[in-house]
Structure 1
Amino acid sequence: MADSSKDELIQIIKRFGAYLTVKMSNFFSVFHNLDSRSVGAIAGLAVAIIFTWRLLRSPNAMDRRQPKRLGTRASSSGTNSQANTTSASPGVSSCLEDSQAQIVVDDFFQPVKPTLGQIVRQKLCEGRKVTCRLVGVILEESSPEELLKQATVRSSVLEVLLEITKYCDLYLMERVLNDESEKRVLLALEDAGIFTSGGLIKDKVLFCSTENGRASFVRQLEPDWHIDTNPEIISQLARFIKYLLQISPSRPERTVSNVFSARSLEEFFGCM
């Protein structure tokens, strides 16, 4: 019995290895953003835990640990039935082992939803510097004139914005009509907790008096990405900036390969 159990265990491991080979390519495509050594360590540990747990809980393993004994008064028909079952057991056992190994592999290789941080890095093509307009993107207000009365940070954009600050050197900028508007914007950003994450400081919030001034800021900073709502600014910068994202409710048709569009920053990163 010990030799038979050992052989069955070896066969399960072999079949598991075969399924593992088939699934491995899909697994690495899901985790292409992770370090290869980290992926290998996580995969090895998880496979070992799941496979051992499934093997110990399988009905075959329980039957091998607790073999049943036949009663001495079994009828001749019962004996014949047992003989037939025993003669068919190798094929049935092999099928069950194949099924168990496949279930383990399929469960382990279920698609894993990427984190928001992974999505941000992937969408930004690993860009390390980002410039972004405030009005219409980070703020509820849609024009500098509205900033004369109030400045309100959009709550739905906060999570994305904070993730960007973790991986990128982020600069926020806006055209304002007076000093009070500038102070109002800084206070709104501070109240929203944007400066407490450690990735953004007040010195990286820039203000100017004209739209061309904002374009000039972007040219000087030379970011990998610039995010804006003004199509003229986007058009001017398309020749100089690697990637641009235009935020517009109408989702304009894409005419330049390095210019993308979305109705909001959250939509671009799949948060809506």
Structure 2
Amino acid sequence: MSEPSSSLSSSKDELFQLIKRLGTYLALKMSNLFSISLQKLDPRSVGAIAGLAVAIIFTYRLMRSPAAPPRRQPKRQAPTTSGSSISAQSNATLMPSGACSPSEDLRAQNVVDEFFQPVKPTLGQIVRQKLSEGRKVTCRLLGVILEESSPEELQVKQATVKSSVLDVLLEITKYCDLYLMERVIDDESEKIVLLALENAGIFTSGGLVKDKVLFCSTENGRTSFVRQLEPDWHIDTNPEIVSQLARFIKYQLHVSPTRPERTAPNVFSCPSLEHFFGCV
């Protein structure tokens, strides 16, 4: 009569101990997790943590609720041997009540570790975070979007869009009002640049149109464009323009193969645009 009841009680004790160990390990993980600023958690992570907490509380309450009494079973006297009785007593001696086996401890740790696997942010999330939710961006073409680095190189009837920058550029156009600009020597260079951008598929994403690609004949002309547009971010390779605009633009990214000395707190530097967003 007492065997089903004792078996059920034993199973409950084992499950309760597993939950208890899981809770202890979870508390350690949670303390490490909440040492990070909540602003850096995305809604999916917060929801997942809340869901896990609710699941643990529900399971704990379920375990504490009184179990229904087992049905009476016909008394059956199973033949037992002295050997099996000695083995059961030996196991009871080796595994005291309330103790957890190493396998249970490892199981609880694996459950928590699997739940807290870091979620890799998407490129779109990285772009928004890096740009501090900026809504308007201006960017020069040469040396940032194009492989060519000088207006003279455009006169050889060729312009090449960097393949490594395409994904970043398309993500920026999804969240920001993007303007591209460049100094050119002649009208033919303008056509070459626009054709290269079109062939790269930049205009097909819907976030950038040809009217937002601006051309000028001097470096000061590019500075004037930026001042008039008043962007949240400007991206350039010319250190003089970056220095001149530091007082007027909220943030700037100076693209330079070498790491120059920081000229202002709102000016960042990186070897390339894609490097700034962690794409290389």
How far has the Cα of 1:19 moved from its partner? 2.7
More helix by share: 1
1:166 counterpart residue number: 174
For the residue of structure 1 that corresponds to 2:172, the secondary structure is: helix
How far has the Cα of 1:196 moved from its partner? 1.0
One-letter amino acid of the structure 2 residue matched with residue 111 of structure 1: P
How far has the Cα of 1:79 moved from its partner? 4.7
Alpha-carbon contact 1:137-1:247 (below 8 Å) kept = yes
Against the structure 1 CA distance between its residues 113 and 233, is the aligned structure 2 distance closer, same or farther, given a 3 Å change threshold? same
Q: Partners of 1:136 and 1:75 in 2: how far apart?
A: 87
1:213 counterpart residue number: 221
Alpha-carbon contact 2:183-2:219 (below 8 Å) kept = yes
Match of 2:201 among 193, 200, 219: 193
Higher CA-based Rg: 2
Q: Matches of residues 1-272 of structure 1 in structure 2 within 5 Å?
A: 1-24=7-30, 26-27=32-33, 29=36, 32-33=39-40, 35-36=42-43, 38-43=44-49, 76=83, 79-89=85-95, 90=97, 92-93=99-100, 95-149=102-156, 150-272=158-280
Against the structure 1 CA distance between its residues 222 and 31, is the aligned structure 2 distance closer, same or farther, given a 3 Å change threshold? same
Q: Partners of 1:74 and 1:186 in 2: how far apart?
A: 91
How far has the Cα of 1:205 moved from its partner? 0.9
For the residue of structure 1 that corresponds to 2:45, the secondary structure is: helix
Alpha-carbon contact 1:47-1:108 (below 8 Å) kept = no
1:68 counterpart residue number: none
Q: Partners of 2:141 and 2:222 in 1: how far apart?
A: 11
One-letter amino acid of the structure 1 residue matched with residue 93 of structure 2: S
Alpha-carbon contact 1:230-1:246 (below 8 Å) kept = yes
Q: Unaligned 5+ residue runs, structure 1?
A: 50-70
How far has the Cα of 1:166 moved from its partner? 1.6
For the residue of structure 2 that corresponds to 1:93, the secondary structure is: coil
Q: Unaligned 5+ residue runs, structure 2?
A: 1-6, 56-77
Q: Partners of 1:258 and 1:30 in 2: how far apart?
A: 22
Identity of aligned residues (%): 69
Alpha-carbon contact 2:142-2:149 (below 8 Å) kept = yes
Alpha-carbon contact 1:27-1:109 (below 8 Å) kept = no
Alpha-carbon contact 1:30-1:112 (below 8 Å) kept = no
TM-score after normalising by structure 1: 0.81
Against the structure 1 CA distance between its residues 165 and 183, is the aligned structure 2 distance closer, same or farther, given a 3 Å change threshold? same
Alpha-carbon contact 1:245-1:259 (below 8 Å) kept = yes
| Residues 33-90 of structure 1 deviation map (CA, whole Å, 9 limit, x = unaligned) | 5554x434444668999xxxxxxxxxxxxxxxxxxxxx978674x6534422223323
For the residue of structure 2 that corresponds to 1:261, the secondary structure is: strand
Q: Partners of 1:256 and 1:231 in 2: how far apart?
A: 12
Q: Partners of 1:129 and 1:26 in 2: how far apart?
A: 36
How far has the Cα of 1:177 moved from its partner? 1.4
Q: Partners of 1:227 and 1:26 in 2: how far apart?
A: 37
Alpha-carbon contact 1:152-1:188 (below 8 Å) kept = yes
How far has the Cα of 1:211 moved from its partner? 0.7
How far has the Cα of 1:6 moved from its partner? 2.3
